[in-house]
A and B are shown apart, each in its own frame.
Chain A
Amino acid sequence: MQTLCLLIGLLGFAPQEAPAPVPLQQPAPAPAAEDASPARLPLEALTGFSQTPAGGVDDLFGQALLLEFFAHW
């Protein structure tokens, strides 16, 4: 199953439930992961946490974080 999911991801197809990618205004290649070192991630920019008692990202100390960028439409 994991192999299948990875293969699907690599081929650029999303499962039926996944929303279609929405291009933003200035298409450009994303930087390599090593260019976005933790020190340069302005996580303090995240505000207004909801559906969790966290007051900010610091309250998630010691946890792994999956940041999912999305938009509603």
Chain B
Amino acid sequence: MPHANELQEQFGARGLQVIGVTGEPAQPTQTWIQDKGARYAYAYDPQRRLHQALGVRGIPHAVLLDPQGKLVWRGHPAALTDAIVEGALAGTLPAPLWAWPDSLAEVRAALQSERLVDARRSAEALSDRGLVERLLPLIELRIEARLAALKALYEDLDLEPLERLLAALEAGLAGDPRSAALAEQRRLLAEDPALPGARAALAELAAAEQRLSEHDSGAQALDLAAVQAVIDRLAPISKQYGKQAPGRRARELGSRLKKLRKQLSQGD
């Protein structure tokens, strides 16, 4: 924590943003953060998707991404040196999006809504040529990264974010030659025979998560038999989809349900 505060203070003005990531609920975390005096951003990963994607098994654990989104270092935060951070700062923009001046409002709005062709056009029209030269490569890399993300989400059968991203890019990349990849992705979504089964599995997972959420909130308590029934339904999803998103999600949910089963058993 003190090291992260120091890094934020030392490098924040040069384009480094430290983000504390937790899978735990907001309220106790915010109390803890205030008690500890964290002076950097923090964010929640309630489904631990980022934890899972990065294979985070022990904490504290830190991951450094450069401004192009490339993972350049990972390890114990105490082992992160100034020299490593310096190496990731090449190409950073002077300020994060929310702090951009009004002259960049159009670029900012276009980026925030995935209108990437508009963002490029607005950036090209800026009078600050130095800034244009820094912005345009980042926008191009963002387009490439979005297209790569689309492919990765499809291979991972992470269908909900895939469909959201595809719809956003169909609007935001219209007119760009790379939008042909979007039409192909749309065709695959319609014709891939594996997808109806994956969609059904994801719907089942969403329903199970909803039931667990209702139990946690006290809206509708689950009894031991109901918990076991849900666990039994998750097992084939975990087996069929393995390391893909439905499989990982089934195991994460199964782990939570098994803890609940243990609590209910002890309560009996």
**Measuring CB to CB, which residues of chain A are less than 8 angstroms from any residue of chain B?**
2, 5-6, 8-10, 12, 14-15, 17-19, 21-31, 33, 35-55, 57-72
Q: Tell me if A38 and B96 are in contact (CB < 8 A).
A: no
Task: For A68, list chain B residues within 8 Å (CB).
Answer: 4, 18-21, 60-62, 77
* A-B contact sample (10 more), CB < 8 A, given A38-B148, A67-B21: A18-B3, A24-B57, A36-B63, A42-B50, A50-B41, A59-B96, A62-B92, A62-B93, A64-B89, A70-B60
Max chain A CB contacts within 10 Å: which of B47, B83, B97, B158? B97
Interface pairs (8), CB distance under 8 Å: A22-B58, A30-B57, A31-B55, A42-B50, A61-B138, A63-B15, A66-B19, A72-B29
Task: For B92, list chain A residues within 8 Å (CB).
Answer: 62-64
Task: For B202, list chain A residues within 8 Å (CB).
Answer: none
Task: For A5, list chain B residues within 8 Å (CB).
Answer: 78-79, 81
Q: Give bound CA distance, A72 to B135, whole Å.
A: 38
Smallest CB gap from B156: residue in A: A40
Task: For A48, list chain B residues within 8 Å (CB).
Answer: 26, 43-44
Q: Tell me if B22 and A41 are in contact (CB < 8 A).
A: no
Q: Tell me if A27 and B93 are in contact (CB < 8 A).
A: no
In the complex, which range does the number of interface residues on chain B fall in?
A: 35 or more
Max chain B CB contacts within 10 Å: which of A10, A22, A46? A46
- Quick one: given A51-B38, A70-B20, are A9 and B60 in contact (CB under 8 Å)? no
Min distance, Cβ B143 to any Cβ of chain A, angstroms: 12
The 4 closest A-B pairs by CB, nearest first: A9-B79, A62-B93, A72-B32, A39-B148
User: At the interface, yes or no: B1 with Cβ under 8 Å from chain A?
Assistant: yes
Task: For B32, list chain A residues within 8 Å (CB).
Answer: 72
User: At the interface, yes or no: B17 with Cβ under 8 Å from chain A?
Assistant: yes
Contact partner of A71 (CB less than 8 A), chosen from B59, B72, B135, B142, is B59
Q: Tell me if B17 and A60 are in contact (CB < 8 A).
A: yes
Smallest CB gap from A41: residue in B: B53
**CB interface residues, B 40-81, toward A, < 8 Å:** 40-47, 49-51, 53-81
User: At the interface, yes or no: B173 with Cβ under 8 Å from chain A?
Assistant: no
Min distance, Cβ B91 to any Cβ of chain A, angstroms: 8
Contact partner of A2 (CB less than 8 A), chosen from B67, B81, B98, B145, is B81
- Quick one: given A33-B71, A58-B111, A72-B22, are A63 and B60 in contact (CB under 8 Å)? no
